[in-house]
Structure 1
């Protein structure tokens, strides 16, 4: 039951994986189990987030107030779409993998939606980024580094 709580914490935008792992280790849970459920929870939440952000962007495209802003974003993306497609997965991995504030799954899902990444590519990027970030946060929480 405690691992389920840690998984839920890793899905929340405030704690995400970066907060769930130290909390789980502080609760004296098995660090490997904490790592696994945190990565799993933080990655699984990205699928509904990407789909939700896509719908929000689509909704904003229909509203006059936001058409200018969304139009500028779309124009910028279309101009560099080939370049962005090639580096987008690696960018998501690095963005999520470096454990800094606001660089987690929620923000990466929004970025993936804006870049119109395929869900599969975005999910791979988020998963690998979460795995990298989880290793770093676990090592810091266990005072290894």
Structure 2
């Protein structure tokens, strides 16, 4: 059980799954669904400060390396393109909506990058990401529990 919870936690901090993968994984492995929800939500929430630190400090150093710069520009364009209309139209709530939608390419990684690119106040961006992650996690948790009970 602890191994499965740890794997769910790792999926939740991974840019390849976030809690969208961590929650279903943990629940299907038989871990208590409430424990999985809380653990994956908190793990996914940790991504925001780590990504902000990376964007503000580490990125400034690595951007001088050409292959990194090309990849970073591609990721930034995708995050900006995917979130631009929502953030321009709805501001704070647009960022919440962007992070909340449990689809590939949305989530806290893209939400943090978008907040950084659009120069959204860090506290507001953190709150928007937190609310978005919470709703996304609840949607995935509800769907997983519902499907598993069938």
Could you state the TM-score of these two structures normalised by the residue count of structure 2? 0.72
Aligned: 1:100 with 2:92? no
Partner of 2:18: 16
Q: Is the 8 A contact 1:96 1:129 kept in 2?
A: yes
Counterparts of 1:14 and 1:103, CA distance in 2: 11
1:117 positional shift:
1.9
Pairwise mapping of residues 1-145 of structure 1 onto structure 2 (< 5 A)? 1-2=2-3, 3-55=5-57, 58=60, 87-143=90-146
8 Å CA contact retained: 1:53, 1:109: no
The count of residues paired between Structure 1 and Structure 2 equals 128
Is contact 1:50-1:112 (8 Å) kept? no
User: Mean Cα displacement is larger for which, 135-144 or 19-28?
Assistant: 135-144
- For 1:54 and 1:27, locate their aligned partners in 2 and report how far apart those are by CA, in whole Å: 37
TM-score calculated relative to the size of structure 1: 0.74
Q: Using the TM superposition, give the Cα deviation of residue 118 of structure 1 relative to its aligned residue in structure 2, in angstroms.
A: 2.3
Structure 1 Cα separation of the partners of residues 28 and 10 of structure 2: 16
Greater gyration radius? 1
Query: Which is bigger in relative contact order (C-alpha 8 A, separation at least 6)?
Result: 1
C-alpha distance after superposition, 1:80-118 (max 9, x if no partner)? xxxx69943212211111111110111111001101222
